[in-house]
Amino acid sequence: MYPSSLQKLIEELRKLPGVGNKTAERFALDILDRRDQDIEPLVNSLIGVHQSIKRCQQCAHYAEDDLCDICKDSHRTQSIICVVSSPKDVIALERSGQYKGLYHVLHGAISTMKGILPSDINLESLIQRCNETVKEVIVATNTNVEGETTAMYIAKRLENHPCDVTRLASGLPMGGLLDYTDDLTLIKAIEGRKKI
């Protein structure tokens, strides 16, 4: 239907998460309709991001230098580390503006069903970071089977370290209705209740 080079672009765009056939086609046609001087910044950005972005040597978040901007920030609380599964989780927590500690990005979660073992994620460097200056490790993995398994494994590995291991609260979302809430969420909400 399309010339082969345009079809190849559509197929490559379709590989992106959340991009279906119609969206990939729309993106490709928009790119094709742009003038050369308008497409050049996009191409340079794609090349540049692959050449300049790497993992922070301390927390494994995205960085352009050896350390990411968060790890370089001396105003952040150095004694608290929040463990997340992906860099997207760091961005979500940063948007809240409430957390002022450091992060540790696992780049995955333990999943025996998928064959992802503790050695397959960025876990050993977390254990090495947990020295006497770290007072708390907040495990902020997802509340699915993989996230819970990962959280339990981290807690077990750090049980002999001098830091507290905590888990983000889970339960009912703001505006949620009890009669529409699944059983597991209700169980977590009851377990995590607090005095008002």
Q: What is the CATH number of the domain that holds 134?
A: 3.40.1360.10
What CA–CA distance (Å, rounded) separates 74 from 8? Answer: 46
For range 170-177, the mean pLDDT = 78
Q: How confident is the model at residue 168 (pLDDT cuts 50, 70, 90)?
A: confident
* Average pLDDT for the chain: 92
24: CATH: 1.10.8.420
Q: Which stretch of DSSP H or E encloses residue 165?
A: strand 164-167
What CA–CA distance (Å, rounded) separates 28 from 93? Answer: 33
pLDDT of residue 105: 98
In the chain, the DSSP E strands lie at: 54-55, 62-63, 77-84, 101-105, 136-139, 164-167
Overall size of the chain counted in residues = 196
pLDDT of residue 170: 80
In 64-124, the DSSP E strands lie at: 77-84, 101-105
Strand partners, 164: 136
- Is there a domain that residue 194 lies in? no
- Is there a domain that residue 179 lies in? no
CB 63: neighbour CB atoms within 10 A? 21
Nearest CA to 99 out of 72, 126, 81, 74 is that of 81
- Is there a domain that residue 192 lies in? no
Q: What pTM does this model have?
A: 0.83
